[in-house]
Structure 1
Amino acid sequence: MTSEVAPFTTADFDDEDAEAGIRLSDFSRAVSIWSAMQLRDVSVAETALAFNATPDVVQRAVREHGGPYLYLIGDETDPAKQFIEHDGE
């Protein structure tokens, strides 16, 4: 028997000044590392599925990553057609 768990949304992340919990900045670093390690283009939809998060959270994490080397390309309205890019790939 499996139970369905709701994906992470922006509201599920702790504030940046919280002592414990997962922060959006932590998630941003995880997305950056995971997507680079795939050695291929990964879509926002695929990334959201891998992390049990909504596509909106993935998009926000990439945009707020804090570095110019992680960005989004493609159709912003379709997470399956929008991809995470790393500068220098």
Structure 2
Amino acid sequence: MKNWLELSNAEDEKVWNKIYDELKFEPSIANFPSFKVPTPFITYDISLYFGKYKGLDAYDDLEEKALLVFQEFTSVDELFFMLTRR
């Protein structure tokens, strides 16, 4: 994916600290959801892209659709974080 910038370790740590502190994030596989987000918020189901759809074309399609959605809700000079691990 060519449309993302990876955070430095220091930036990554700062973002995760904010998530733990402000959203009261408590990772769990038993309690869902494991965090509270302010309202309103939007959830997108991307489960279609996992499992049998592991080809590169599926990920390219997901990236294209995600970019369209993100562009619709952000201004040209605005940035947002997408966290994929922890």
Give the number of the structure whose residues are more often strand, by fraction.
1
- The normalised TM-score by structure 2 is 0.29
TM-score normalised per structure 1: 0.29
Larger Rg computed on CA atoms: 2
